[in-house]
Structure 1
Amino acid sequence: MVSFDVSALFTSVPVEESLKIIQDKLTLDTSLSGRTKLSPQQVTELLRLCLTTTYFKYDGKFYSQVEGAAMGSPVSPIVANLFMEWFESRALATFPSPPKVWVRYVNDAGAVMKSSLIEPFHRHLNSIHPNIKFTKELEENGSLPMLDVLMSRKEDGWLKFSVFRKSTHTDQYLQFDSHQPMEHKMGVIRTLRHRADHIITEDEDRAIEYEHLRTVLSVAGYTKWAWQSPGRTKVTPHPRTHTDSRPKSHVTLPYVAGVTEAITRKIRKTGVAVHSTPHTTIRRLLVAPKDKDKPDDTCGVVYHLTCEDCDAQYVGETERALKKRISEHKRDSSPVAQHMQTYKHQPTKKVTILDRESRWFERGVKEAVHIRSRSPSLNRDQGRHRLPPIYNSLVQSRDLGDL
């Protein structure tokens, strides 16, 4: 047994060749016209736009990604997988003695072949395309890991499967007392049990895995009740009919213990599915993997202006860079400029970002909330979103500076 792994697949995928492969597949797809009115050429052009307009900022400079697909892009795994389908078909068809067994998951492939052919086949794989290079791993003591599965050869020649963990695995899972929705915590147990039930083939190994999971989860605060809970029943997909009982729509709420659960119960009675997501996390507060924009260059914000010489205030929102919007307040039509001219005050330099929101509607709501909360004297109205009076007591009862 041997496994082959592509080094840096996403960023090594040749874009133009992948687009040609995809367009050829779309051209041969007789059902395409039933799913979209776009032609194969149009789909390919749109895909080219997604793959060739990736920009990122590092150390204050902007760069364009000229090779490969972007890490984190939802389209990258699809493009990479389609390219690898073409790659493996060509590699297996052009090798004199292909592997007896060949299985692949995106960039990881497992094979069963004669030991004498492993090295020639490895060289053959690395010769197919200059961008795609494989590493290999041979079985040791009759076992070979692939993804999170450990394949082991039994004495009778059959294979058994068990869960594989790297030596660096920490067994750290979501803490049971963390401020997270209960469904997320129960999801940890369901996922781990599902893996044990569907990967492990020997009862003895499954019992050992269960005992390991109970031990590490108890350290994370999971109780015996949580482990024994049957959990959510899986719904079998079925075609839509006029009596379809699936949700009308979906909504995602920020999780606040005791509040989100009550709102969720009300919404679900209307036939709408509700999902919860953590709003403030340690990762969000502490981790900044990308270069931060300067405050003046930030887009999609709700901002707060304060006069240099008095307590006059203004709250607004903008989709563009903040500095461009602030410069517009120097126009005679701006209430800020009119205040400065009337009272001979100095142009304001006290600008604070109250909120960041890229979505137009949600940004308008946040602007209205902050206007209602602060009652800024320079605003001529309550913002472009009409916030119902029923929210007055809620808005005025809490500090909204960190929303």
Structure 2
Amino acid sequence: MTNLETTLMDKLINAGVCEWHRYVDDTFVLFNSITCIDNILSILNNFHPSIKFTYKIEDGDKLECLDVLITRSTECQLFQTTIYRKPTYTGLLMNYHSYVPMQYKKSGIITMVNRALIICSTYTSLAAEFNEIRRIGLLNGYTSSFIDTIIGIKLRQYRKKNNDVIQSPQTGSDVKKRMYVEIPFIENATKEFRNKITHLCNKLRPDLDIQFFMKPPPAVQMLYQTKDPINKKMKSDVVYSIKCT
């Protein structure tokens, strides 16, 4: 795709392309109002037989691109953006009552909140997206207080970042070496073990910053063989050993 852009960009500009923004193989393109899109498509699809472009034009001043719904503002020369979900989206998250570490449950909500803060361009669309996150969370067993707490924390961090509140840099003596440790998840026993290791490390190795990752237990289906074993001779991608005299 980079080679295509480098080779064809001059032709595309002459044909009426004003803006070209690409993420992997999805592009968001602005044309002149008199541009013939079929001419642009012909230039792109004649570049290589394995590359075939399709296109979708805006409908009612709106166009979805990846996870973003882009709206052409009628009041000013700006684009407004909000979250776009495909019609096939089911709203399925990791259930709150699943036997997994709390970080796993938080991450599902945090991901949606961070995405909303980055994509939503107006407070109205951001508020609407927060309500949608609450609705999805409630359907998966999360409580309103749990979701609202995460929204409050991430919103405060976002505003703090945008207000250019700069933390004082650490001096050389304050910088700690980060170490990652994976521990099995056994709920309360894991928390107690983590706290003891952290307390012991603060005493013996204050220069370390230990980050714990809890590994959930394997799924029950992993403990039982649900299918009949397949004879090795019936499998594909097998290397045969033939004894030679």
Structure 2 counterpart SS, 1:112: strand
Q: CA deviation at 1:135?
A: 2.0
Q: Give the 3-state SS of the residue equivalent to 2:28 in structure 1.
A: strand
- In structure 2, the partner of 1:78 is none
Identity %: 24
1:252 and 1:175 mapped to 2: Cα distance?
Answer: 23
Task: State the match for 2:204 in structure 1.
Answer: none
Say whether 1:111 aligns with 2:42: no
Report the AA paired with residue 99 of structure 1.
V
Residue type matched to 1:253 in 2?
I
Q: Where do 5+ consecutive residues of structure 2 fail to align?
A: 202-208
Tell me the secondary structure at the aligned position of residue 168 of structure 1. coil
Question: Which among 176, 183, 190 is matched to residue 260 of structure 1?
Answer: 190
The 5-angstrom pairing of residues 248-327 of structure 1 reads 249-269=179-199, 270=201, 271-281=209-219
TM-score computed with the length of structure 1 as normaliser: 0.46
Retained in 2: the 8 A contact 1:252–1:274? yes
Tell me how far apart the structure 1 counterparts of residues 221 and 15 of structure 2 sit (CA, whole Å): 50
Structure 2: how far apart are the matches of 1:277 and 1:161? Answer: 37
In structure 2, the CA distance between the partners of 1:295 and 1:164, relative to structure 1 (3 Å rule), is same
Choose the corresponding residue for 1:202, options 122, 133, 136.
122
Confirm or deny: 8 A CA contact 2:15 2:39 kept in the other structure: no
Post-superposition shift, 1:181? Answer: 0.9
For the pair shown, the structure with the greater C-alpha radius of gyration is 1
CA contact under 8 A between 1:267 and 1:274: conserved in structure 2?
Answer: no
**2:63 is equivalent to residue 144 of structure 1:** yes
Where in structure 2 are the equivalents of 1:207-218 lying within 5 Å? Answer: 207-218=127-138
SS in 1 for 2:188: coil
> 1:172 pairs with 67, 89, 92, which one?
92
Contact 2:16 2:32 (8 Å CA) reproduced: no
Displacement, 1:264? 2.6
Could you tell me how far 1:175 is from its partner in structure 2? Answer: 0.7
1:188 matched to 2:103? The reply is no
Tell me the equivalent position of 2:48. Answer: 129
Q: Please state how far the C-alpha of 1:239 moved relative to its aligned partner.
A: 9.6
What's 2:79 paired with? 159
2-structure distance, mates of 1:240, 1:148 = 41
| Partner Cα distance (2:16, 2:215) in 1 | 47
| RMSD, matched Cα | 3.5
Q: How much has 1:276 moved relative to structure 2?
A: 1.9
TM-superposed CA distance for 1:93, in Å, is 2.8
Tell me the distance in 2 between the aligned counterparts of 1:255 and 1:160: 43
1:245 aligns with 2:154: no
Question: Secondary structure at the residue paired with 1:252?
Answer: strand
Q: CA–CA distance in 2 between the matches of 1:151 and 1:263?
A: 48
TM-score w.r.t. the length of structure 2 is 0.72
Contact 1:102 1:111 in 2 (8 A): yes
Q: Which amino acid in the other structure matches residue 101 of structure 1?
A: E
SS of equivalent residue, structure 1 residue 138? coil
User: Structure 1's 174 and 93: CA in aligned 2 closer, same or farther, altered over 3 A?
Assistant: same
